[in-house]
Amino acid sequence: SSMRATRVKRTKTVCTYCGVGCSFDIWTKDRKILKIEPTTEAPVNGISTCVKGKFGWQFVNSPDRLKKPLIRRDDTFYEASWDEALDLIASKMTAIKHEHGSDSLAFIASSKCTNEENYLMQKLARSVFGTNNVDNCSRYCQSPATTGLFRTVGYGGDSGSMHDLQLADLILIVGANPAESHPVLATRIKRAHKHFGQKLIVADLRKNEMARRADLHLHPTPSTDLIWLSAITKYIIDQGYSAQAFLEQRVNGYDEYVASLESFTLEYAEKTTGIPRAQLIQTAEMIHAAKGLCVLWAMGVTQHCGGSDTSTAISNLLLITGNYGRPGTGAYPLRGHNNVQGAADFGTMPAWFPGYQEVQDDEVREKFEKAWGTKLSKIPGYDNHQMVDGIHEGKVKAMYLFGEEMAFVDSNANHVHAAFEKLEFFVVQDVFFSKTAQFADVILPASPSLEKEGTFTNTERRFQRLYQALDPLYESRPDWKIIMSIANHLGANWTYEHPSEIMEEAAKLTPLFAGVTYDRLEGYKSLQWPVAEDGTDTKILYTEMFPFDDGKARLYPVEFTPPVEVEEQYDLHLNNGRLLEHFHEGNMTYHVDGIVHKVPSTFVEVSHELAKERDLQDGALVRLISPYGRIEIRVAITDRVHAKELYVPMNTRADAEAVNYLTSSYHDLATHTPAYKEMSVRMEVLEQS
Ligand code: SF4
């Protein structure tokens, strides 16, 4: 009947499962999700999605959703009203601020949440509490890539668009596995490679799907990417292959940079990286032969002590070969979360207001002081690594965190948990009772993306709107409303009635997205920053200028940072990353039956060689031990990993097998991104399968 037809609702939304930013219509009837329908209008994916975008939504109706605010009483929690919870938060946070100062408070934002929510979080920290102690999970992943790009070309984002990837003659992927982590983006490369003669080189410890498809798979010794990247750049210069005209007109620092490469000979690179000289030359020659090169990289590069420097080396290579500013060229740091780009763009970072405007810049600060009507701190805040240390040292006393499973995803989990235990007051806001929530004093029930409006920014700097498909379940509320309530309980007078008003305010204060409005993003419309006031957006960065005073890029010399030394007993290298089917710590996808049925838990990948040496069978239970902790996990024997290198997908809900009990507190020197990938363990066999 027509009655029934009107109950079926069709809503445009944006996927929450990775930085590709697929958008599609979701069909619902009451709370039932009928289907996902991608359409040709979707700017990124057209009619494609991956398994997560297509089937990963049932979690919104999980009986495990948080229903009401919860307040700790000894070792349990009782259900409270919103007013009671908000009053408690306001009074506790205010008392701690008065006793220990503004910088004893810390705020963790969320790359799963919208731009508007992240904007409000940093505004709350800065204008209501007076601290710049606000950070987000880009600290766990792509901050080093941003640093590498800031040093050399000026903008911390993909320099081109995803559509351009198919225009490149050559794709070089370093330390990334887009076939599982960015599936729809990977499809474009697979297609161009298979049908249109595009060449593909993959440098990775694992023979992952992209490496299997590649024309050339480089397998470097762990943590040595900077060396081979610098060596092929030197070879390219020595052969006279550098892009002379481009370098002369558009790039500074050539002589100094060339001098810095002196020690990076092919001999040295072959010896330290284990990549045969012939493969290094082949890589350089393929780059020289290509009219356009795109380099894609992710956590395999960034999560090292030298992550920022290796990211810089990638950008240097692109500059030397003139691969910026044209279609089918450029730097593509692949953002993991759906809105990791936007969270950083909107200022949930300790040293930057929205749009990477420095808190130390007096003019910028005065602009925000005027707009927000309060005095702001000019001292850059703690990043999340410093927050954890700050709690251990007694400097940080209270934390407010939303949509971040820090207890599982930060490195050295035991160290992080011990910090949480020491907090005087801890507020966690989430959709589920997360591992992190177990440490909280107050837990606030938030609404997932389908229950609210807002915008996300994907890996190619593209703003897209999501519309509300469902009402908030139980007493949950959208994060932006909760943050506003907390501000208003503390005497702020925020009056946003719709996320569009938050965007309007942010755009006014931020030149990078001055022309972003909800009207210009209606339906499937999208904009890529920088967006000028008249709404002109930017598909390819640096076509004419680099955003430095003289308009020129900068070659930036870097040195090799050797990996962390380990005791001999930790004889196996442990790598970690993602799985196609699950998202991150799994709070969402482990609440989707179909996905859990297919991939019920995580596992450790072991090479045939090692399995033979240790007499291991597929499915055996082993204990992995590092200096920081231990986990127990099932073995999967595979040719994806090499010799004494192991791989554990990070995606699990099970405490016993979470890889970050093993990882250390070592970190990238420039950004404090944990060196998750510099890890060695030993293995004990507990039971054969
Ligand atoms: Fe979602 Fe990423 Fe899959 Fe697209 S590729 S459907 S954005 S998880």
Chain-centre distance of CA 406, in angstroms?
13
For the chain, give me the number of helices (H) and strands (E)? 24, 28
As a three-state string, the secondary structure of 218-280 is ECCCCCCHHHHHHHHHHHHHHCCCCCHHHHHHHEECHHHHHHHCCCCCHHHHHHHHCCCHHHH
Residue nearest to atom 4 of ligand 1 (CA): 22
What pLDDT is recorded for position 1? 43
> Which residues make beta-bridge pairs with 200?
171
Residue 638 φ then ψ, to 5°:
-155, 155
Tell me if 450 sits within 8 A of 666, measured CB to CB. Answer: no
**C-alpha dihedral, 464 to 467 to 472 to 476, nearest 10°:** 20
Query: Which of 649, 587, 631 has the alpha carbon at shortest distance from 428?
Result: 587
Query: Which of 310, 317, 309, 313 has the alpha carbon at shortest distance from 241?
Result: 317
Residue nearest to atom 6 of ligand 1 (CA): 53
Tell me if 474 sits within 8 A of 68, measured CB to CB. Answer: yes
How far is it, in rounded angstroms, from Cα 464 to Cα 250? 32
How would residue 476 be classed by pLDDT, with cut points 50, 70 and 90? very high
- Please report the atom of ligand 1 found closest to the CA of residue 53: 6
**DSSP category for residue 394:** T
Residue from 22, 37, 162, 339 to probe ligand 1 pocket by mutation (most atoms less than 8 Å from CB): 22
pLDDT in tens, 642-668: 999 999 998 887 888 899 999 999 999
CA of residue 239 to ligand 1 center, whole Å:
41
Domain end marker among 309, 333, 357: 333
Find all residues with CB under 8 Å of 40, minimum gap 6, and list them: 46, 47
Domain end marker among 303, 318, 333: 333
Within-domain flag for 25: yes
* 388 touches ligand 1 (CB under 6 Å): no
**Least confident window among 4-18, 90-104, 237-251, 408-422:** 4-18
Domain containing residue 401: CATH number: 3.40.50.740
> Which residues make beta-bridge pairs with 251?
553
- Same domain for 494 and 379, yes or no, is yes
Query: Which of 522, 519, 532 has the alpha carbon at shortest distance from 41?
Result: 522
Give yes or no for residue 413 having a pLDDT over 50.
yes
How far is it, in rounded angstroms, from Cα 302 to Cα 507? 30
CA of residue 367 to ligand 1 center, whole Å:
37
Domain containing residue 166: CATH number: 3.40.228.10
Tell me if 47 sits within 8 A of 33, measured CB to CB. Answer: no
Rounded percentage of the chain residues whose pLDDT exceeds 90: 89
User: In total, how many domains does the chain have?
Assistant: 4
Cβ atoms within 10 Å, residue 534: 7
Q: Would you put residue 357 in left (φ > 0), alpha (ψ -120 to 50) or beta?
A: beta
| Residue bearing tokens 């668009």 | 161
**Least confident window among 127-141, 151-165, 574-588:** 574-588
- Same domain for 131 and 116, yes or no, is yes
Within-domain flag for 204: yes
pLDDT in tens, 502-527: 999 999 999 999 999 999 999 999 99
- Same domain for 424 and 440, yes or no, is yes
CA of residue 579 to ligand 1 center, whole Å:
13
Q: 479-489 and 115-123 are packed helices; what angle lies between their axes, rounded to 10 degrees?
A: 20
Give yes or no for residue 6 having a pLDDT over 80.
no
On average, the pLDDT of the chain sits at 95
- Same domain for 411 and 318, yes or no, is no
Using DSSP's 3-state secondary structure scheme, residue 672 falls into coil
Query: How large is the average pLDDT for residues 220-232?
Result: 97
How far is it, in rounded angstroms, from Cα 517 to Cα 586? 33
> Which residues make beta-bridge pairs with 70?
79, 443
Within-domain flag for 545: no
Domain end marker among 277, 302, 333: 333
- Same domain for 86 and 226, yes or no, is no
**C-alpha dihedral, 275 to 280 to 282 to 283, nearest 10°:** 100
Within-domain flag for 650: yes
Owning domain of residue 37: 2-61
**HSE of 616 in the Cβ direction (CA atoms, 13 Å)?**
26
Domain containing residue 625: CATH number: 2.40.40.20
Residue from 20, 24, 59, 188 to probe ligand 1 pocket by mutation (most atoms less than 8 Å from CB): 20
Distances (CA, A) of 23 to 26, 44, 188: 9, 7, 16
Chain-centre distance of CA 473, in angstroms?
27
What pLDDT is recorded for position 598? 83
Give yes or no for residue 4 having a pLDDT over 80.
no
* 21 touches ligand 1 (CB under 6 Å): yes
What pLDDT is recorded for position 5? 58
Within-domain flag for 535: no
Give yes or no for residue 494 having a pLDDT over 60.
yes
Give yes or no for residue 578 having a pLDDT over 90.
no
Query: How large is the average pLDDT for residues 188-217?
Result: 96
Give yes or no for residue 309 having a pLDDT over 70.
yes
Give yes or no for residue 65 having a pLDDT over 50.
yes
Structure tokens that stand for 328 in this block: 């089918």
* 354 touches ligand 1 (CB under 6 Å): no
- Same domain for 147 and 128, yes or no, is no
- Same domain for 345 and 482, yes or no, is yes
Distances (CA, A) of 268 to 12, 230, 317, 359, 535: 53, 11, 18, 42, 50
What pLDDT is recorded for position 3? 54
What pLDDT is recorded for position 270? 98
Q: E strands of 362-492, at which residues?
A: 398-402, 425-430, 442-445, 454-457, 462-466
- Same domain for 161 and 227, yes or no, is yes
Within-domain flag for 178: yes
Give 317-370 as a DSSP string: HHHHTT-SSSTT-EEEE---STTHHHHHHTT-BTTEEGGGEETT-HHHHHHHHH
Which amino acid makes up residue 24?
F
How would residue 92 be classed by pLDDT, with cut points 50, 70 and 90? very high
Tell me if 634 sits within 8 A of 599, measured CB to CB. Answer: no
Whole-prediction pTM: 0.95
- Same domain for 245 and 377, yes or no, is no
- Same domain for 152 and 301, yes or no, is yes
Tell me if 190 sits within 8 A of 198, measured CB to CB. Answer: no
Query: How large is the average pLDDT for residues 365-370?
Result: 98
What pLDDT is recorded for position 522? 98
What pLDDT is recorded for position 347? 97
- Same domain for 351 and 476, yes or no, is yes
Within-domain flag for 539: no
Within-domain flag for 52: yes
- Same domain for 172 and 314, yes or no, is yes
Residue nearest to atom 2 of ligand 1 (CA): 18
pLDDT in tens, 602-656: 899 999 999 999 999 999 999 999 999 999 999 999 999 999 999 999 888 788 8
Give the residue ranges of DSSP H helices in 429-468: none
